[in-house]
Amino acid sequence: MPEFDNLPTYESVREAADLLHPVVVRTPLLESYALNEKLGARLFLKCETLQHTGSFKFRGAYNALARLTSAQQAAGVIAYSSGNHAQGVALAAKMLGIPATILMPEDSPKIKLANTRGYGATVITFNRYTEVREEIGEKIARAENLTLIKPYDNFFVISGQGTVGIEVAEQLSTHNIKADICVAPAGGGGLVAGTALALNELSKQTDIYTAEPEFFEDTSRSLKAGKRIANEGGHKSICDAIVTPIPGEMTFEINRSLLKGGLVVSDDETKAAVRAAFHYFKCVIEPGGAVALAALLTGKVDITGKTVVAIASGGNVDPDLYSDTLKERDQ
């Protein structure tokens, strides 16, 4: 396990919250009485689907870009992403006047590719199944003197994502309650790591879990093993936003000490959660953003009589996939 001299802390998350306060959306924490009655629990949905760019990723991206030196900002940045970090970096760069190049899989949802270009970024595509984005990104960064903004293994990115956890704790406090369980989707683990830093300070009794798609549960298996374990190749998932190959180094160092465990859901269970979000909350969630809700709806952890939070991390779903998913029926 690598040693880190400088990992994010609750204090760095709080500093990010102060910086981001004027620019981020304080996204709603929704509750459905009909769903609560069905579940025998009190479930809140944190709708980062309504964040700028339709994803929590804007938080970390803006926090990271705002911390760059003037020379780094003038030279520009590069990021690699399946779409949500791409859009977050692209918009943050536009707001801060920073040139941005984004490396994206060629099979990214069209809406994510179009939105990233729409924010003014230069988009370069690659084949996610035959090429390694980290190698391509680092090569371009060196050649063009760009600052690489990693999607999760970045001090300021993790700190920015953690502001979701601060908001959850503060919003629940208006009900004079604290969560027994909080579940967050995990790709590289930046959202859940930052959220865990916040809740470990503000709501110590809350058990925090990751949720991941089947065959891409690298964080879940790594937590059990006590070390980073990569996913096996040869699988696909509709959860394009979170099909990363292995947990981040910085994120796993945080997550292995603060998380209760990892939960795993199938694509069919995720689709059912997308439908449930539409039905009970009128909330559009992309598959990768719905896995936390899916884990709670399908009893991957016992929530009977408890107060639980599912973070809906993004809403950038392909319209055709969303329409087809809504047309399907739950078993």
C-alpha span between 159 and 168 (Å, rounded):
15
Average pLDDT, the chain: 95
Structure confidence at residue 331 (pLDDT): 60
| Angle, vertex CA 239, rays to CA 235 and CA 243, nearest 5 | 55
For the cut 90, the answer to whether the pLDDT of residue 88 exceeds it is: yes
Dihedral class, residue 40 (left if φ above 0, else alpha if ψ from -120 to 50, else beta): left
Tens of pLDDT, residue by residue over 221-242, are 999 999 999 999 889 999 988 9
Average pLDDT over residues 193-208: 98
- Confirm if 79 and 102 have CB atoms less than 8 A apart: yes
pLDDT tens-digit map of 241-292: 899 889 999 999 999 999 999 999 999 999 999 999 999 999 999 999 999 9
Average pLDDT over residues 6-21: 97
Answer with the residue of higher pLDDT: 89 or 111: 89
pLDDT at 2 > cutoff 90: no
CA distance 267 to 131: 25
**Residue 1: band (very low, low, confident or very high) from pLDDT cuts 50, 70, 90:** very low
Q: Does residue 149 or residue 4 have the better pLDDT?
A: 149
Domains located in the chain, CATH noted: 10-56+157-327 (3.40.50.1100), 58-154 (3.40.50.1100)
